[in-house]
């Protein structure tokens, strides 16, 4: 619960673009989760900087939520300010060729933009749902292709709400499904992406090939957060979960997908599935895999809750 004077400070920072006690189940692809104390959607960089400065001054937790394709918010909710960059949507071709894109640009817009202009390099991301900010923060990828391969520099605003600054590729510490080395609470605002010239047909064909492969191997017609666990070195989390006999395992309204064991799917959107069910299946999978293989799986999905229940 945010005190009235702090609510006013947040409203001074971003005007009407803040909602209190916001339902978060509509913000994540798993469609579960409790309320956030506040949800702010700043309209531009100055508003975002004011918002971050206000959070810092009032010791409010803050966290960016992209398009919520890899986030799980606990049923108890999030005791802080969720920040959405859905109004950061600039997308331009630059000489090089390069692409300048703001963090709120969706994977679908990026893919369409590249296909229409015959710009190659981002095809791998066609089936990785999310925003550019989420791709960068997660170093999203498939097989050997990762977001780090295309990022030339990023623009960030630090947690104190300071001036935007650019960070070049060499200074970024991308790891498997993570970007490390930025001060906690730093917000990625935009990026410059390196691409190559191709033809729309070439880009389109590669996108279609990758999407077809996904459709054949992943449960895409039902809400999920994609891979729940990171792959352990030299192995695949999905294979370990399947080998532990957990495909199809259920709890309440959620299930370990019979199609791909590293996906937990919500079979009862809006009628009873909850974050606690997902967390229970996560623990079940972790325990059973550790028992059968000795490997302790680490979650890829970003789990948010309250600091004090
Ligand atoms: C069906 C399906 C398939 C998927 N397949 C893949 C796959 O093949 N490969 C893969 O890597 N992932 C995959 N995912 C997971 C997901 O698509 C990626 O992690 C994606 O990058 C999430 O983007 P998002 O905008 O939804 O980020 P969110 O899920 O909203 O956020 C993820 C993390 O990024 C942080 N973040 C987001 N934006 C910013 C920002 N602007 N500044 C700072 N931090 C930020 C958040 O705080 C959070 O910690 C899949 C998900 C689904 C549902």
pLDDT tens for residues 246-271? Answer: 999 999 999 999 999 999 999 987 77
pLDDT value at residue 76: 96
Ligand 1, from 31, 111, 138: best to mutate by most atoms within 8 Å of Cβ? 138
Strand 250-251 with 196-197, pairing: unpaired
Binding site membership of 257 for ligand 1 (Cβ less than 6 Å): no
pLDDT value at residue 8: 97
Q: Which atom of ligand 1 is nearest to the CA of 135?
A: 21
Domain with CATH 3.30.465.10 in the chain: 91-206
Query: How far, in Å, is the centroid of ligand 1 from the Cα of 96?
Result: 27
- Return d(Cα 63, Cα 164) in angstroms, integer: 17
Positions annotated as catalytic residues are 177, 227, 300
Query: How far, in Å, is the centroid of ligand 1 from the Cα of 100?
Result: 19
pTM above 0.75, yes or no: yes
pLDDT value at residue 219: 87
- Return d(Cα 26, Cα 109) in angstroms, integer: 21
Q: What is the pLDDT of residues 4-23, one digit of tens each?
A: 999 999 999 999 999 999 99
Query: How far, in Å, is the centroid of ligand 1 from the Cα of 3?
Result: 31
pLDDT value at residue 271: 75
- Sheet containing strand 187-194, strands side by side: 91-94, 98-102, 187-194, 151-157, 165-168
Binding site membership of 135 for ligand 1 (Cβ less than 6 Å): yes
Query: How far, in Å, is the centroid of ligand 1 from the Cα of 131?
Result: 7
pLDDT value at residue 308: 60
3-state helix/strand/coil string of the chain: CCCHHHHHHHHHHHCCCEEEEECCCCCCCCCCCCCEEEEECCCCHHHHHHHHHHHHHCCCEEEECCCCCCEEECCCCEEEEEECCCCCCCEEEECCCEEEEECCCEHHHHHHHHHHHCEECCHHHHHCCCEHHHHHHHCCEECCEEHHHCEEEEEEECCCCCCCEEEEHHHCEEECCEEECCCCCCEEEEEEEECEECCHHHHHHHHHHHHHHHHHHCCCCCCEEEECECCCCCCCHHHHHHHCCCCCCEECCEEECCCCCCEEEECCCCCCCCHHHHHHHHHHHHHHHHHHHCCCCCECCEEECCCCC
| CATH for the stretch 219-304 | 3.90.78.10
Binding site membership of 42 for ligand 1 (Cβ less than 6 Å): no
Burial class (CB in 10 A: 0-12, 13-18, 19+), 99: buried
The encoded tokens of residue 37 equal 């104390």
Binding site membership of 278 for ligand 1 (Cβ less than 6 Å): no
Q: Which atom of ligand 1 is nearest to the CA of 70?
A: 29
Binding site membership of 130 for ligand 1 (Cβ less than 6 Å): yes
Domain with CATH 3.30.43.10 in the chain: 4-83
Q: Which atom of ligand 1 is nearest to the CA of 302?
A: 49
Burial class (CB in 10 A: 0-12, 13-18, 19+), 170: exposed
- Partners of 251 in the β-ladder: 254
Binding site membership of 28 for ligand 1 (Cβ less than 6 Å): no
For the chain, which residues score pLDDT lower than 50? 309
- Return d(Cα 117, Cα 154) in angstroms, integer: 22
The CA dihedral of 117, 123, 129, 135, to the nearest 10 degrees, is -100
Distance from the Cα of residue 305 to its chain's centroid: 16
The encoded tokens of residue 129 equal 């749902």
* Closest C-alpha to 164, from 48, 64, 55, 39: 48
The encoded tokens of residue 265 equal 């799917």
CATH topology of domain 4-83: 3.30.43
Ligand 1, from 226, 257, 269: best to mutate by most atoms within 8 Å of Cβ? 226
Binding site membership of 157 for ligand 1 (Cβ less than 6 Å): no
| CATH for the stretch 91-206 | 3.30.465.10
The CA dihedral of 126, 132, 135, 136, to the nearest 10 degrees, is 140
Binding site membership of 52 for ligand 1 (Cβ less than 6 Å): no
């Amino acid at each position: 619960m945010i005190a009235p004077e702090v609510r006013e400070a947040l409203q001074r920072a971003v005007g009407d673009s803040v909602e209190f006690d916001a339902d978060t189940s509509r913000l994540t692809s798993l469609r579960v989760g409790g309320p956030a104390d506040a949800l702010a959607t700043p309209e531009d960089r100055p508003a975002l900087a004011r918002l971050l400065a206000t959070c810092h001054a009032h010791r409010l937790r803050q966290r960016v939520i992209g398009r919520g394709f890899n986030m799980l918010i606990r049923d108890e909710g999030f005791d802080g300010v969720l920040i959405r960059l859905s109004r950061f949507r600039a997308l331009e071709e630059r000489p090089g060729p390069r692409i300048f894109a703001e963090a709120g640009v969706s994977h679908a817009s990026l893919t369409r933009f590249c296909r229409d202009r015959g710009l190659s390099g981002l095809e791998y991301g066609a089936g990785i749902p999310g925003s550019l900010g989420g791709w960068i923060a997660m170093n999203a990828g498939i097989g050997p292709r990762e977001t780090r391969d295309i990022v030339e520099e990023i623009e960030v605003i630090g947690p104190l709400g300071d001036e935007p600054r650019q960070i070049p590729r060499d200074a970024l510490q991308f790891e498997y499904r993570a970007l490390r080395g930025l001060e906690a609470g730093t917000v990625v605002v935009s990026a410059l992406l390196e691409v190559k010239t191709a033809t729309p047909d070439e880009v389109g064909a590669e996108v279609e090939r990758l999407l077809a492969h996904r459709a054949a191997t992943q449960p895409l017609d039902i809400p999920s957060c994609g891979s729940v666990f990171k792959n352990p070195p030299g192995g695949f989390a999905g294979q370990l979960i399947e080998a532990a006999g957990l495909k199809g395992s259920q709890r309440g309204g959620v299930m370990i997908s019979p199609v791909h064991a590293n996906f937990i799917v919500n079979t009862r959107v809006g009628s009873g599935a909850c974050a606690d069910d997902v967390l229970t299946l996560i623990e079940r999978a972790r325990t059973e895999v550790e028992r059968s293989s000795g490997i302790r799986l680490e979650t890829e999905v970003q789990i948010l809750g309250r600091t004090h229940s």
